Amino acid sequence: MLNLLRNKIIVILIIYAGANQPLHSQLWQRVGNGLDRFSNGLWTNIESNKLFVTGNFIHADTLLCRGICFWDGKVFGKLTPPPACDLCGTGRLIKFDNKLFATGEYTVPSSTDIGQVMQYENESWSLSARFPKNSAAGSIVLVNDKLLILGLFDSISGIRANCIALYNPENNMWERFAQNEPFQNTFFHSEELLNNATYYKNEYYFSGNINRDDDFKEILRYDGKDWKPLQKGIFGGFADARGLIVYKDILYVTGYFFKRDGNAGDYIMAWDGEKWFNPFPQIQYLYDIKNMAIISDQLYISGSFIIPADMDSLAYNIARFDGCNFSAFGIKMKYPEDVEAPFALAGFQGKIYASVRDSLQGKYAGYLISFDENTPNYRTINITECPKEVDTVLTIELYPNPFDEWLTIKSTKCFAGALITMCDMLGRTVYHSRFNMKYENRFDLMQLSGGLYYITVKTNEQVILKTKVIKL
CA-wise closest residue to 44 among 330, 300, 377, 254: 300
Residues 6+ apart with CB under 8 A from 172: none
Contacts 24+ apart (CB under 8 A), 220-228: 222/178, 225/180, 227/182, 227/183, 228/203
Number of separate helices (H) and strands (E) present in the chain: 1, 42
Burial class of residue 115 (count of CB atoms within 10 Å of its CB; 0-12, 13-18, 19+): buried
Cβ atoms of 8 and 16 closer than 8 Å: no
Distance of CA 467 to the CA centre of its chain: 29
C-alpha–C-alpha distance, residues 372 and 434, integer Å: 9
pLDDT at 277: 94
pLDDT at 253: 96
Residues 6+ apart with CB under 8 A from 433: 296, 347, 349, 350, 373, 419, 420, 443
233 HSE (CA, 13 A, CB side): 23
**pTM passes above 0.85:** no
pLDDT at 13: 31
First to last CA, the chain: 78
CA-wise closest residue to 289 among 264, 325, 260, 252: 252
Q: Which residues pair with 173 in a beta bridge?
A: 168
pLDDT at 343: 85
68-71 and 76-77 strand pairing: antiparallel
> What are the pLDDT tens digits along the chain (472 aa)?
444 444 433 333 322 333 333 444 457 899 999 999 988 889 888 777 899 998 888 899 999 888 889 999 999 998 876 555 444 556 788 888 888 888 876 555 545 445 578 888 888 888 888 887 777 776 889 898 899 998 888 888 888 888 889 999 999 999 999 876 645 544 444 456 788 999 999 999 999 887 766 777 889 899 988 888 898 888 888 888 889 999 988 999 999 999 999 999 999 999 999 999 999 988 877 777 889 999 888 999 988 777 665 545 455 688 899 888 888 887 765 544 455 678 899 998 888 999 988 887 778 889 999 988 888 887 788 888 765 555 567 788 888 888 888 888 888 777 766 788 889 888 888 887 777 777 778 888 877 888 889 998 887 668 888 889 988 8
C-alpha–C-alpha distance, residues 250 and 418, integer Å: 25
H or E element, residue 444: strand 440-444
Instruction: Decide yes or no: CATH 2.130.10.10 for domain 26-382.
Output: yes
Q: How many other C-beta atoms lie within 10 A of the C-beta of residue 179?
A: 6
434 HSE (CA, 13 A, CB side): 14
pLDDT at 25: 44
As a residue count, the chain comes to 472
Q: Phi and psi for 252 in degrees, rounded to 5?
A: -100, 135
pLDDT at 82: 59
pLDDT at 336: 45
Q: What is the largest CA-CA distance in the chain?
A: 89
Show the CA angle centred on residue 12, arms to residues 10 and 15, nearest 5°: 110
What CATH fold (topology level) applies to the domain 396-471? Immunoglobulin-like (2.60.40)
DSSP 88-121: -----EEEETTEEEEEEEEEPTT-S-EEEEEEEE
Domain residue spans of the chain:
26-382, 396-471
Residues 6+ apart with CB under 8 A from 326: 280, 282, 283, 307, 319, 320, 380, 381, 383
Q: Where do the DSSP E strands lie in 323-389?
A: 325-333, 344-348, 351-355, 359-360, 363-364, 368-372, 379-382
pLDDT at 86: 41
pLDDT at 175: 92
* 434, 438, 439, 444 alpha-carbon torsion, rounded to 10°: -40
